[in-house]
């Protein structure tokens, strides 16, 4: 049973303020339409998710490169092993924590230890 098939009074009684419910009703409307409309909707949604994923990936790459640059400037060099470990970290929050912890590192060895804990 679709929610939109409910009689008008019953449908109005459903609180649209509930997070996600309004979007669910909108999506349901799309799926009740033609196959072509549904396919176009799905393609738009996929494009939005892909764009978000690309932006998040680009941000993580920028943070990784900034961390490597910081370590290089602070300690005059960065081993390829340390760079590889930093480049394996993909979570932006983890990268931000790493950067904050590296601010306290006083030696390249301490920096390597901090990175290895991530």
- Mean pLDDT, residues 48-59 taken together: 92
Query: Would you place residue 101 in the very low, low, confident or very high pLDDT band (cuts 50, 70, 90)?
Result: very high
The pLDDT of residue 1: 39
Q: Name the residue among 114, 74, 113 with its Cα closest to residue 94.
A: 114
Q: What's the confidence (pLDDT) of residue 8?
A: 47
pLDDT in tens, 59-88: 999 999 999 999 999 998 889 999 999 999
pLDDT tens readout for residues 2-47 = 444 544 445 555 555 666 777 776 777 766 777 787 788 889 989 9
In sequence order, what DSSP letters do the residues of 50-114 get, joined into one string?
HHHHHHHHHHHHHHHHHHHHHHHHHHS---HHHHHHHHH---HHHHHHHHHHHTT--SHHHHHHH
């Amino acid at each position: 049973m679709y929610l939109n098939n409910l009689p008008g009074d019953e449908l109005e009684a459903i609180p649209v303020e509930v997070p996600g419910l309004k979007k669910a009703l909108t999506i349901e409307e799309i799926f009740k339409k033609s196959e072509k409309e549904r396919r176009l909707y799905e393609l738009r949604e996929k494009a939005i998710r892909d764009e978000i994923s690309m932006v998040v990936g680009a941000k993580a790459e920028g943070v990784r490169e900034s961390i490597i640059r910081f370590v290089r400037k602070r300690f005059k060099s960065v081993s390829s092993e340390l760079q590889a470990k930093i480049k394996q970290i993909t979570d932006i929050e983890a990268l931000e924590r790493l950067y904050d912890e590296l601010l306290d590192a006083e030696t390249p060895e301490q920096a390597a230890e901090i990175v290895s804990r991530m």
